[in-house]
Chains A and B, each alone.
Chain A
Amino acid sequence: MLFFVARRLGTMVLTMLCLTMVVFFLVNLEPNLKKLAISQTEMHATSAELEQWLTKNGYRQNFFVRYGQWLGLMPKVPATDPNTGKTMPRFSYCNEPTEPKFSGVLQGDFGCSTKFKTTVAAKLFPGLGATGLLMFWVLMLMIPVSLLIGVLAGMREGSRTDRTLSVASIATTATPEYVSGVIFTVIFASWLGWLNGSAASASQGITFYNFTLPVITLAIYGIGYIARMTRASMVEVMTQQYIRTARLKGLSFSAVVVKHALRNALIAPFTIIMLQFPWLLTGVVIVEVMFRYQGFGYTLVEAAGNNDIDLLLGCSLVSVFIVLITQLISDVGYAYLNPRIRVQ
C-alpha cells in the first residue's frame, strides 16, 4: 500500500512538472508576451520600448532559465536599469528581491501578479478560501441529495420511481452550469424575487439570499451524474446473493436496504464524487463569473484574460494539484473501503 502511494505521488510530481512546463510555455508565447508588455507600459509605446520592457524584466531570458526561476531552482535576477546600471526590483509592489536570490514555488514564492499589482499569494489564497466555502456548501447539498436519489432509484429497478428519477437525473446532466444558472436566475431572481442574482456581496458575508443560486447551480450538474452512478451500483448490489438471503431470512425491505445494501453500494459513488472535482473546477469558474463571486475561478479568468503570467501559473498549479490529489484519494480510498481489494 505504501509503495503504491509512493509511486502515485512520484507520478503526480512528474505530471505536475510536465503540466506546469506546458502552461509556462503557452503563457510565454510571443503574442502573449507582447500583450503583457502593451498592458504594462504606457499607451503608444513603440515596439522598441516594448522590447526594452521585456528585456529589462527578464522575459527575454532562456526558457528553461525562466522556468527554473519560477520553480526556485535558479536564482531570480532583479531588473537592471539600462541607463544607470543600478539594480532594482522588477516589480516594486511585490517585495521582489534586489539581489539574485532563489525564490520560486519550491521556496513558497508564487511570484508577482502584474494585473492586480500584488503578490500571487495575496490574491490566490483568499480566492481559494472563498471558493472552498462555496465548494463546502455545494458538497453539503450535492452528496446527500444525489445519494438519496440514486439509492431510491436503484432500490427497485424498473419501478415508476426509478424511471422518473432516472429521467430527472439525465435531465440535470444535460444542463451545464451556464444554462441552469440562467434558468434559476430567471425563475428565482427575476420572476419570484426570492434570491439575489449576484453573489458579489457574498465576499462580505454569505447569506441565504445571495449564496443559494451559485450553490444550487453548481450542485445540480453533479447531482445527476453521481445519482446515476449510485443507482447503477445500488442495482448491482440488490441482485447479489446476500441481499436475497437477508430477504429470505425475514428482514424487512427497509432494513435490508439500510443495513446490507447501502454500505456496499456506496463504495463506487465515493470514487465518483472524488473524480467529480475536475468537473467542479470548471463549474466553479463558470458560476463565479456568472454570479460575480470573487473566488478562485474569478481569479483564473482575470489572470487568463490579462495574461498575468505568474498568477495564471499559480492557478494552474493549484487546479492541477487538486485534480491529482483527488485522484489519489479516490484510488487509496477505494482500496481502503473495498475489502476485496484491500486483502490483495
Chain B
Amino acid sequence: MQVEYVGALNIVIGVIARFWPVWLALAIVLGLSFAYKRRLGLYGQLFDSSVGIAGVVICLFWLFTAMFASTIATFNPLDQIVVMKDALPGGVEPASHKVFLFGADKLARDVFSRMVYGSQIVLIIAPAATAFALMVGITLGLPAGYYGGRVDTILSFLANLVLAFPVILLFYLLVTPGIMDTPIPYAIAGLFFIFPIIFFCVLFWTRFKNRPDRLYLLLGLTILLGGWVYVGLVFDRDPLGIVHIDPNQLNIFVAVVFASSPGVFRIVRGLTMDIKTRDYVAAAQTRGESPWYIMLWEILPNARGPLIVDACLRIGYTTILLGTLGYFGLGLAPESPDWGTAIKDASRLLRQYIHPALPPTIALMSFVLGLNLLADSLREQSLKD
C-alpha cells in the first residue's frame, strides 16, 4: 500500500498546532511573569536579559510538553503501524488519516509522539535525581566543610573515589540486568534516600528546638511523608500503593544520584569553607548556636546562589547522563521512548534514514541548552547583587 505525504509547510503547521497546550500555557505563564516581574525576585530578574528569557522559554516549553504529552502526541509511542515502516516525515496514516509529522522509525512507530513522550521520562528522572543528589551533597558537604579535620578527610576521600571512576564504567558496573538480582541497588537506594529525611529532620530540629508545638508537628510530618515515600521507593511496599517505581528505573535513578552527589558535595564543601570565615557565622558562634544550626540556617541560605546555578547545570548534566544510559542500552527498556534510546536506535541506521535521529537529538540538545542558558543568566544576576 502506498503512503501519501503532506508537504513541508503542512508539517510545520501541524507541529505548531499539535503543541497548542504548550503555547497556551507558555503565554499565560510568560504574561503573568512579565506583569509581575518586579515582585518575583530572582526569577523576575531573569526577564531582564535575552539569554535569561531564552532559557526560561526553552525550559518551560519542555516542562509543558511533558505535562501535556498525552494531548500533544498524535499516536501512542509504542504503537507499531506496520504500513508506516520507515515512512518519511509527513506520511499520512491510511486508517485514521492522521499525519506522522516526523515520520516513522524502523519499527513503524511515530517519531513525533515518541519525542513528546520521551520528555516525560527525562523531566521526571533528571530533576528528581538532582534533588536527591543535592540533599546528599548538602547533608555531607556542610559538616565536611564546617568541621574540617578527619570528617572532611574521610568524606572527601570517598567523594574523590567516586569521581575518579569514569562515569561510563560506573554505569556499566551499576546498571546491568544482573545486578537487579542482588541487594546492591536497594542498599544504595536505602542509604541515599534516607538523606532527605535526615536533612529535613535536622533542619526543623535546629530551628524549632524550643517550640515543641511546631517541632513535633513538622518532625512528625517529615517522618510520615518521608517514610511513606522511602518505603515505596526502596522496598516497593507502599501500603497505599501510590508510590511505586520499577526495579530498573530505581536502578537508573540510584546510579545517576550516585554519580552526581560527589560533585554537589565538593561544591557545598568549598562554599562552606569560604562562608564559615564570615562575620555572621562568628556572631552566631558567639551567640552559642549549635553547629548544625549555623550550617543549615546561617551558611546554607548564603550559599543558595551558586547552588541554584549548579542545580540548573546539574539537571542538564543528568539529562546527558540519562541519554548516555539510553545510548548504551543500559537500564531503560529497549522500547522506551526516551531520547537516549531513540538516538541509539536511529544512529545505527543513519546511512539509510536520518529523520528518526534528528528529533530526539535536537530535543535533548535544546533542553540542556535551555538549562545552561538559565544557569548562565542566573549566575550573572546573582553576581550583580
Residues of A within 8 A of B (CB): 11, 15, 18-19, 22-23, 26-27, 29-32, 34-35, 166-167, 170-171, 173-176, 178-179, 181-183, 185-186, 189-190, 197, 278, 281-282, 285-286, 289-290, 297, 300-301, 304-305, 315-316, 319-320, 323-324, 327
Interface CB pairs A-B, < 8 A, 30: A15-B164, A18-B161, A22-B161, A27-B173, A29-B184, A30-B181, A32-B178, A35-B178, A176-B364, A178-B323, A178-B344, A178-B347, A178-B361, A182-B346, A182-B350, A183-B361, A186-B354, A197-B351, A282-B166, A282-B167, A286-B324, A286-B327, A290-B347, A297-B168, A304-B173, A304-B176, A319-B166, A320-B165, A323-B164, A327-B164
Output the nearest chain A residue to B180 by Cβ-Cβ distance.
A31
Contacts of A285 in B (CB 8 A): 166, 168
When the two chains form their complex, are residues A319 and B169 in contact, meaning their CB atoms are under 8 A apart? yes
When the two chains form their complex, are residues B160 and A29 in contact, meaning their CB atoms are under 8 A apart? no
Partner of A19, one of B165, B168, B358, B361: B165
Q: How far is the CB of A189 from chain B (nearest CB, A)?
A: 7
When the two chains form their complex, are residues B354 and A179 in contact, meaning their CB atoms are under 8 A apart? no
User: Contacts A29-B179, A174-B368, A176-B320 known; A182 to B163 CB distance under 8 Å?
Assistant: no
Q: Is B316 an interface residue (CB 8 A)?
A: yes
Extra pairs beyond A35-B178, A304-B173 (18, CB < 8 Å): A26-B184, A29-B182, A30-B181, A31-B177, A32-B176, A167-B51, A174-B368, A174-B369, A176-B323, A178-B340, A182-B347, A182-B357, A183-B358, A186-B350, A190-B351, A301-B172, A301-B328, A304-B169
Output the nearest chain B residue to A33 by Cβ-Cβ distance.
B178
Q: Is B174 an interface residue (CB 8 A)?
A: yes
Output the nearest chain A residue to B164 by Cβ-Cβ distance.
A323
**CA–CA, A197 and B349, complex, Å:** 11
B:341-385 near A, CB below 8 Å: 343-344, 346-347, 350-351, 354, 357-358, 361, 364-365, 368-369, 371-373, 376
Partner of A173, one of B161, B181, B344, B372: B372
Q: How far is the CB of B310 from chain A (nearest CB, A)?
A: 14
**CA–CA, A15 and B163, complex, Å:** 11
Contacts of B354 in A (CB 8 A): 186, 190
Contacts of B184 in A (CB 8 A): 26, 29
Partner of A31, one of B182, B320, B350, B376: B182
User: Contacts A176-B323, A178-B340 known; A31 to B181 CB distance under 8 Å?
Assistant: yes
Partner of B168, one of A18, A26, A282: A282
B:169-198 near A, CB below 8 Å: 169, 172-174, 176-179, 181-182, 184
**CA–CA, A27 and B372, complex, Å:** 36
Task: Give how many B residues have a beta carbon under 8 Å from the other chain's beta carbons.
Answer: 46
When the two chains form their complex, are residues A174 and B168 in contact, meaning their CB atoms are under 8 A apart? no
Which of A26, A35, A166 lies at the interface centre, i.e. has the most chain B CB atoms within 10 A of its CB? Answer: A26
Q: How far is the CB of B170 from chain A (nearest CB, A)?
A: 10
User: Contacts A29-B182, A31-B181, A286-B324 known; A315 to B369 CB distance under 8 Å?
Assistant: no
Contacts of A166 in B (CB 8 A): 376
When the two chains form their complex, are residues B361 and A278 in contact, meaning their CB atoms are under 8 A apart? no
User: Contacts A29-B179, A197-B351 known; A19 to B164 CB distance under 8 Å?
Assistant: yes
When the two chains form their complex, are residues B166 and A190 in contact, meaning their CB atoms are under 8 A apart? no
Contacts of B343 in A (CB 8 A): 178-179, 182
Q: How far is the CB of A249 from chain B (nearest CB, A)?
A: 31
Q: How far is the CB of A41 from chain B (nearest CB, A)?
A: 17
When the two chains form their complex, are residues B182 and A15 in contact, meaning their CB atoms are under 8 A apart? no
**CA–CA, A186 and B358, complex, Å:** 9
**CA–CA, A23 and B161, complex, Å:** 12
When the two chains form their complex, are residues A15 and B169 in contact, meaning their CB atoms are under 8 A apart? no
Contacts of B165 in A (CB 8 A): 19, 320, 323
Q: How far is the CB of A201 from chain B (nearest CB, A)?
A: 15
Contacts of A297 in B (CB 8 A): 168
**CA–CA, A304 and B351, complex, Å:** 27
Which of B167, B168, B324, B358 lies at the interface centre, i.e. has the most chain A CB atoms within 10 A of its CB? Answer: B168
6 closest Cβ contacts across the A-B interface? A31-B178, A304-B172, A174-B369, A174-B368, A281-B166, A26-B173
Partner of A171, one of B172, B181, B320, B369: B369
Contacts of B172 in A (CB 8 A): 300-301, 304-305
Contacts of B340 in A (CB 8 A): 178
**CA–CA, A250 and B54, complex, Å:** 41
Contacts of B166 in A (CB 8 A): 278, 281-282, 285, 319-320, 323
**CA–CA, A18 and B176, complex, Å:** 21
When the two chains form their complex, are residues A324 and B179 in contact, meaning their CB atoms are under 8 A apart? no
Partner of A29, one of B163, B178, B316, B328: B178
Q: How far is the CB of A143 from chain B (nearest CB, A)?
A: 21
Contacts of B376 in A (CB 8 A): 166, 170
Contacts of B167 in A (CB 8 A): 278, 282
When the two chains form their complex, are residues A175 and B365 in contact, meaning their CB atoms are under 8 A apart? yes
Give B320-333 as 1s and 0s: 1 = Cβ < 8 Å from A's Cβ atoms: 10011001100000
When the two chains form their complex, are residues A178 and B169 in contact, meaning their CB atoms are under 8 A apart? no
**CA–CA, A174 and B328, complex, Å:** 19
Contacts of A32 in B (CB 8 A): 176, 178
**CA–CA, A174 and B369, complex, Å:** 5
When the two chains form their complex, are residues B169 and A315 in contact, meaning their CB atoms are under 8 A apart? yes
